[in-house]
Amino acid sequence: MRTPLIAGNWKMNGSVALINEFGQAFSAAVSPKGVDIVIIPPFPYLDAARLAFEGTGLSLGAQTLNPIHSGAHTGEVSGRMLKEFAVSYVLVGHSERRQLYQESDDQIFARLLAALSVDITPILCVGESLEERDAGRTMDVVLRQVGHVMSRLEPDQRKQVVIAYEPVWAIGTGRTASPEQAQEVMAGIRAYQAGFDKGLAEQLRLLYGGSMNASNAAELLAQPDIDGGLVGGASLKIDDFYAICQSAG
């Protein structure tokens, strides 16, 4: 059985006060059981989150990392630094990083390797634009993004990767892929992985990352190949995020 994973990506939002509220709301006594729950705040809040989440059911994630361990890279953060703040997960290849900061597939691969090198679980984000979906290229685009990374990893490395499918046209727009649309893509990703290793395909955790919220989470998470969610705006609302986590349990 694959343990469900719900990750809340706060993007450039949040506050220390909100961090503390989440730490109190998700105490070990009340956190949904049988679900891995991750909060991914901006870098300045990592230490506050590390302290606030201690003894709770929450793990800590980061939104990106530099593939180089140290050096003259003003404004950048390395995997080694993240590890010192008890970061367990890191996003790589989020659509906003691909689009706004022109991160290439090669750069995303380098970041993923850097995460693996310090034992941080990378969440590889993949997905198509509206134009690509309308052109019938969804699976071509998604499997190209997946394959650029997974085909170049060693078998033991592949087992450590989580993949989040985030249709770009459904992020921050209020539009959501139907459960059937999301399942179709997830099944395609899992089938692709089976080409490397059937065991890997069965254990690989796949998250849906396109405007998941409290009202649609249960239906999406009921799909056989959706193992969790990469949640955006709803992850900033404690009650909504808690409800999503309960839906995954």
Catalytic residues: 94, 166
Q: Evaluate whether 115 touches 65 at the Cβ level (below 8 Å).
A: yes
Q: How far apart are CA 180 and CA 174, in angstroms?
A: 17
| Cβ count within 10 A of residue 85 | 16
Q: How far apart are CA 129 and CA 127, in angstroms?
A: 7
User: 212 is written with which tokens?
Assistant: 């998941």
In sequence order, what are the beta bridge partners of 229? 6, 208
Beta strand residue intervals within the chain, DSSP E: 5-9, 36-40, 58-62, 87-92, 121-126, 162-165, 206-208, 228-231
Amino acid in the structure at residue 38? V
Largest CA distance in the chain: 48
Which residues contact residue 12 at a Cβ distance below 8 angstroms, ignoring those fewer than 6 apart? 42
Q: How far apart are CA 116 and CA 90, in angstroms?
A: 10
Tell me the helices (H) and strands (E) count for the chain, helix number first: 12, 8
